[in-house]
C-alpha cells in the first residue's frame, strides 16, 4: 500500500503472527493517557530527543514496539503474553510516566505492525504525533553508513568509537542508506496523508542548535505546562567527525563523475549510431 510495499507489509505481519496471535483489539484504550509518538527516521537525533523528553517529564520515549532481533519474543516470554494486543498493552502499561504520559518512538518499520494489526486504530488514533527528520538527508545517510559500518551509533557506545576512522568511503553504500531514508520518509508522509494527521514537524538541525525551543514546542503541542528550568544535558550527544564532511564531498564528486561518464558514453553511442 505505502510505496508499493504490500509484500513487505504481509511478511512483517506474518513475522508477528509467528510469535503471538493477532485477533482484533478489544481491551481498554487508555484514553486517559497523554500519548506521544515520535515518528522518526534513523540518525535524526531520536535517542537524544527521547532522553530530554524523559528528563523533563514527558515519558520514556524508547522503541517500545521493536520486534526484530528477538525483542518481541523476549517480552512475550518474560510476561507470558499470548496476543499482539497483550504485547502492545504491556508496553503501554510498563512505560506510563508520572502525570499519565505514554511516549514511544518508532521508525516506519517498527510502526508498520502497530498500524496494520489494529493497535493504531484502537490505541493511537488520537495520539500526538511528532515527526522527527533531518533537512540534510545526505548528511543523514552518511551518518547512518558510518554508524552501521563502525557499530558506533551513539556516544554511549564507547567501545566502538575508534572504529569510525577505519570506515572506508563507499558511494554505493551511502546511496543505499539515502534510498532507505527517503523510502521511510515517503511511508510516513503517506501515513499522515491517509489518516488525516498533522504532526508537529521538528528537525535534527533545530534539535541540535535550539534544544530548548524544540522542547518548548512539544510542550505546547501536548497542551502541557513547560517546566521553568528545562534539563538539556543527557548521556547522548551528537556523533560527528570530519569524516562526515569528507565523505559528503567525495559522494557528490563521485555522483557527478558518474553522471558525466554516462552522458559522454550515451552521446558517443547515439552519435555513432547516426553516422
Q: What is the CATH number of domain 6-274?
A: 3.40.50.300
- Express as a percent the part of the chain with pLDDT over 70: 92
pTM of the model: 0.89
Give me the pLDDT at residue 243, please.
86
Over range 50-78, report the average pLDDT: 94
Give residue-wise pLDDT tens across range 101-111.
999 999 999 99
Give me the pLDDT at residue 222, please.
96
For residue 172, which phi and psi values (nearest 5 degrees)? -65, -40
Give residue-wise pLDDT tens across range 2-26.
445 578 899 999 999 999 999 999 9
CB atoms within 10 A of CB 121: 15
Give residue-wise pLDDT tens across range 224-255.
999 989 988 887 666 556 789 999 999 999 99
Q: What is the 3-state secondary structure (H, E, C) of 135-197?
A: CCHHHHHHHHHHHHHHCCCCCCCHHHHHHHHHCCCCHHHHHHHHHHHHHHHHHHHHHHHHHCC
pLDDT at 1 over 50: no
Give me the pLDDT at residue 2, please.
44
Q: Which three cell numbers stand for residue 104?
A: 514511544
- The residues with which 132 forms a beta bridge, in sequence order, are 40, 202
Over range 128-155, report the average pLDDT: 91
CA dist 217 → 220, 222, 224 (Å): 5, 9, 10
H helices of the chain, in order, are 6-17, 46-55, 71-79, 84-93, 108-116, 119, 137-150, 171-195, 204-209, 211-222, 242-274
Instruction: Return the higher-pLDDT residue of 271 and 111.
Output: 111
Cβ-in-10-Å burial (0-12, 13-18, 19+) of 204 comes to buried
CB atoms within 10 A of CB 156: 11
Q: Where do the domains of the chain lie?
A: 6-274
User: In this predicted structure, which of 1-15, 58-72, 78-92 has the lowest mean pLDDT?
Assistant: 1-15
Give me the pLDDT at residue 269, please.
92
What is the pLDDT of the chain when averaged over all its residues?
91
Separation between Cα atoms, residue 45 and residue 103, nearest integer Å: 16
Give me the pLDDT at residue 5, please.
55
For residue 40, which phi and psi values (nearest 5 degrees)? -130, 165
Separation between Cα atoms, residue 85 and residue 78, nearest integer Å: 16
- Express as a percent the part of the chain with pLDDT over 90: 81
For 10-47, b/e burial (b = at least 16 CB within 10 A) is eebbeebeebbebeebeeebbeebbbbbbbbbbbbbbb
- The residues with which 101 forms a beta bridge, in sequence order, are 34, 97
Q: Which three cell numbers stand for residue 92?
A: 503501554
Give residue-wise pLDDT tens across range 143-201.
999 999 998 776 655 556 778 888 999 999 999 999 999 999 999 999 999 999 999 99
Give me the pLDDT at residue 265, please.
94
Instruction: Note whether 67 and 11 are within 8 A (CB).
Output: no
Give, rounded to a whole angstrom, the gap between the first and last alpha carbons of the chain: 48
Over range 252-260, report the average pLDDT: 96
Give me the pLDDT at residue 226, please.
92
Amino acid at each position: 500500500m505505502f510505496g508499493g510495499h504490500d509484500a513487505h507489509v504481509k511478511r512483517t505481519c506474518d513475522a508477528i503472527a509467528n510469535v503471538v496471535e493477532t485477533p482484533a483489539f478489544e481491551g481498554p484504550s487508555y484514553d486517559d493517557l497523554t500519548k506521544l509518538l515520535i515518528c522518526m527516521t534513523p540518525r535524526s537525533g531520536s535517542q537524544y530527543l527521547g532522553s530530554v523528553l524523559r528528563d523533563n517529564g514527558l515519558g520514556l520515549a524508547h522503541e517500545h514496539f521493536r520486534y526484530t532481533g528477538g525483542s518481541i519474543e523476549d517480552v512475550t516470554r518474560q510476561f507470558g503474553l499470548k496476543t499482539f494486543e497483550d504485547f502492545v498493552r504491556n508496553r503501554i502499561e510498563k512505560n506510563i510516566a508520572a502525570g499519565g504520559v505514554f511516549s514511544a518512538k518508532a521508525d516506519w518499520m517498527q510502526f508498520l505492525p502497530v498500524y496494520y494489526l489494529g493497535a493504531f486504530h484502537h490505541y493511537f488514533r488520537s495520539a500526538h504525533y511528532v515527526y522527527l527528520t533531518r533537512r540534510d538527508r545526505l548528511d543523514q545517510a552518511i551518518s547512518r553508513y558510518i554508524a552501521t559500518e563502525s557499530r558506533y551509533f551513539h556516544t554511549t557506545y564507547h567501545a566502538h568509537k575508534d572504529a569510525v576512522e577505519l570506515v572506508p568511503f563507499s558511494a554505493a553504500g551511502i546511496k543505499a542508506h539515502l534510498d532507505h531514508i527517503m523510502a521511510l520518509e515517503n511511508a510516513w508522509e503517506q501515513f499522515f496523508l491517509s489518516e488525516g494527521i498533522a504532526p508537529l514537524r521538528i528537525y535534527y538541525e533545530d534539535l541540535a542548535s535550539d534544544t530548548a525551543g524544540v522542547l518548548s514546542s512539544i510542550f505546547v503541542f501536548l497542551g502541557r505546562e513547560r517546566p521553568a528550568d528545562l534539563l538539556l544535558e543527557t548521556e547522548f550527544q551528537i556523533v560527528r567527525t570530519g569524516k562526515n564532511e569528507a565523505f559528503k564531498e567525495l559522494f557528490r564528486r563521485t555522483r557527478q563523475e558518474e553522471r558525466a561518464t554516462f552522458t559522454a558514453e550515451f552521446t558517443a553511442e547515439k552519435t555513432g549510431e547516426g553516422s
